Amino acid sequence: MATVVEIPLDGRRALVTGASRNLGSSIARELAGAGASVVVTYLSSEESARTLVSELKGSTGGDHAALLMDATDSDSVRSAVVEASSRLGGHVDILVNNAGPYGSTPFVEMDETEWDRVWDANVKATHLACQAAAPAMRAAGWGRIVNVSAVSAYVRNRSIYSLAKNAVVTLTETLALELAPEVTVNGVAPGQIAESVTDLMEFNPEWAEQVVEATPLHRLVTREEIARIVALLCSPPFDGVTGVTLPVDGGLRINRF
């Protein structure tokens, strides 16, 4: 009989950025289901965020909240960590940096606005949120940070998004050194997500079929699978793991002729 890995996070306080919908909401559900109190941030999807919080409260009986955060605005990111701590009644001890918009305009055609939007939300916001949350984690002697990269970090045809997600991997490794031993810092790098395939087709209708064909498992990963990995990285079985970005992509990133 297979052993089910429990993820005990009772009493933990989590902040998940960009979590009103899609992968972020799945991560919030997984952490809340494991016992954590969760604050989710939103930018334009307030109604979705409020609905998610109501769902979490109903399913877990825990204390959860939603707050506005603009990942491209430094003050907003810093304030989100402070406000989340206030809403949760104590410091954030689990931080999931999930916010991160996509952009793939070729570098030779890209304007500064797109560069700044993608870079600041994916990289700078991750840095600032970690910087704001880490001191209290270290003082308490325990903290878990999970940064969401992407399989695009390992390819070179996704322009600024590839560059930003690769930087998230490097930032994760560097912070793991700086914040040890009290805080572990890890990452996940999702491949194309099954539930988001329609978004992919807006950029190129042929990509969905091509991605499945190029994936050794011949299927796309799901939000639930990725969310489970995020929660596991915050749980006791992974207490000895830091500085790792785990690709969850069905093998898509593997180079081959």
Q: What mean pLDDT value characterizes the chain?
A: 94
What's the confidence (pLDDT) of residue 207?
76
Question: Got the DSSP string for 63-77?
Answer: --EEEE--TT-HHHH
Q: How many CB atoms lie within 10 A of CB 177?
A: 10
Which residue type is seen at 196? S
Residue that the structure tokens 């933990």 belong to: 12
What's the confidence (pLDDT) of residue 58?
97
Residue 241's region, left for phi above 0, alpha for psi from -120 to 50, else beta, is: beta
Q: What is the spatial order of strands in the sheet that 245-248 belongs to? A: 65-68, 37-42, 13-16, 94-97, 143-148, 183-190, 245-248
Active site residues: 161
Spans of all domains in the chain? 13-191+222-246
Q: Which tens digit of pLDDT belongs to each residue from 171-222? A: 999 999 999 999 999 999 999 898 987 776 676 777 778 888 889 999 999 9
Write down the CATH number for the domain with range 13-191+222-246. 3.40.50.720
User: Between 208 and 48, whose confidence is greater?
Assistant: 48
Q: Which tens digit of pLDDT belongs to each residue from 81-135? A: 999 999 999 999 999 999 999 998 999 999 999 999 999 999 999 999 999 999 9
Q: Is 8 helix (H, G, I), strand (E, B) or coil?
A: coil
